Amino acid sequence: MANGQWYPPEWPDRIRALASGELTPAAPRRAATVMLLREGQSGQDGREGRDATGHGAKGAPEVHMLRRRASMAFAGGAYAYPGGGVDPRDDDHLVRWAGPTRAWWAARLGVDDEAAAQAIVCAAVRETYEEAGVLLAGPTPETVVGDTTGEDWEADREALVARDLSFADFLDRRGLILRSDLLAAWARWITPEFEPRRYDTFFFVAALPEGQRTRNASTEADRTVWIRPADAAARYDAGELLMMPPTIATLRALSGYRTPSEALAGASAQDMTPVLAQARLEDGELVLSWPGHGEFTKRIASGGGR
């Protein structure tokens, strides 16, 4: 049975066009996505349809995932984590900040300056709030907000989604401090050069704060689920869940951790070298590969389709 690897049928033609010089690669846009974890709930099987409440009985940790609407131009129908593009407005002034310094984050993320690091971390926190209703910020460096489901919170969230309000202004308005210490950088993947929509995506891991709960607040998703990483990977292997290579790769990496805090502690050992797909012609076949991730290699007959 085929696995659930997302593979658009137009890729072979786009790869050939890139190789022949007919296709000019689009510049990748910086983005951030968050693998939000909670303590697992004992006796659950990780199937879809689970509720989105907070913490339960301890078991293998679960990750919050959403299914992108089939109508989406990029990765429609695929399971992913909350995430989205960096807002340039989030690097134009310093936000109130707790945790490692911006200089530390710049070094960890492999970016040139502190402003860029701030914008990437802001994107991770903002997108988690926009798409899952979870906010990694608090009134002091040691606290996190509790319930964020009131009408005034929803108005601000919708203004963020519409880009009528920058995340920096949102934090200022609310008197909140961004808790960068609640995030850990995990991986960095860049969309292949032959894709028309390209992203330079930074993957983070975080634990669901006490008192908060997730919900499907995204207009881009038609379903959300809390699921154990190993269960999600098994369902991908069985062809039941569609995923892009970085999603399944990070799920496999998360599967060995017993608690969210253990995963956060293990993030420092994760390699942040960008992963970029490569395509080459070999023995009459197009070979598509992701360095360091052999399971995603695809061989396409020259002149043929998938």
Q: Looking at domain 11-40+60-301, does it have CATH number 3.40.50.150?
A: no
Nearest to 73 by CA among 247, 237, 191, 241: 191
For 188-212, write each residue's pLDDT tens digit. Answer: 999 998 888 899 999 999 999 998 9
Strands of 86-144, DSSP E: 97-98, 137-138
Within 8 A by CB and 6+ apart from 64, the residues are 35, 36, 37, 38, 52, 81, 82, 132, 208, 214, 224, 225, 226
Give the mean pLDDT of 103-118.
95
| pTM listed for this prediction | 0.89
Percent of the chain surpassing pLDDT 70? 89
Q: Which carries the bigger pLDDT value, residue 43 or residue 289? A: 289
List pLDDT tens digits, range 142-176.
999 988 888 999 999 999 989 999 999 999 999 99
How sure is the predictor about 91, in pLDDT bands with cuts at 50, 70 and 90? confident
DSSP 175: T
| In the predicted structure, residue 121 carries a pLDDT above the cut 60 | yes
CA dihedral 159, 161, 166, 172 (to 10 degrees): 60
Residue 126 φ/ψ, nearest 5 degrees: -65, -45
Q: What is the pLDDT of residue 73?
A: 55
Q: Select from 144, 123, 134, 136 the least CA-distant residue to 217.
A: 134
What's the confidence (pLDDT) of residue 134? Answer: 94
Q: How many CB atoms lie within 10 A of CB 158?
A: 13
